[in-house]
Amino acid sequence: MAVHGESDVEVSVPISGSLTEWGHSLQARVYFADTDFSGVVYHARYLEFLERGRSDYLRLAGIHHAELDDGKMGKRLAWVVRRMEIDFRAPARIDDILTVETWTARISGVRIFMAQKILRNDVELIRAQVEAAVIDERGRPQRFPAEWIESFKPSDRSG
């Protein structure tokens, strides 16, 4: 018997999700702390779910925030979000199992444009477009290292 919010999604995936042929997929459960007084996920918490998806996509592609900060690429680097657009389509509720999908839409100069969506089973709850960049310790934009381009090949995934 399913309790409100529970889904039929299998939850036996690695903690960082998994790389897919089009990008990255991560599952996350909605906890009480993610909800507002009405029992649905508070709008700002979706930003955290999206951030986890992008961070784990980077991690599984071999790019670790701590290593960038340690200067592994020859100087200290950091990822920053420059712009984000979010469409809220349907609410998530406590105990829901969400799937955060992340893929590269395109890379242009010093920017990467990622597309993301959050689903509950097959229901699309959130769709987001994220423009991110890599900066040095002085805040100056840096070109993507050539070895990263292959890891973030753009996908024409639209669905």
Residues involved in catalysis = 36
Contacts 24+ apart (CB under 8 A), 149-158: 149/107, 151/61, 151/62, 151/63, 152/61, 152/104, 152/107, 152/112, 153/104, 154/103, 154/104, 154/105, 154/106, 154/107, 155/22, 155/23, 155/103, 155/104, 155/105, 157/22, 157/23, 157/103, 157/115
Alpha-carbon distance of 52 to 101, in angstroms, equals 10
Q: What do you get for the CA distance between the two ends of the chain, in Å?
A: 31
Cα–Cα separations (whole angstroms), residue 79 to 8, 47, 89, 126, 148: 35, 15, 28, 22, 13
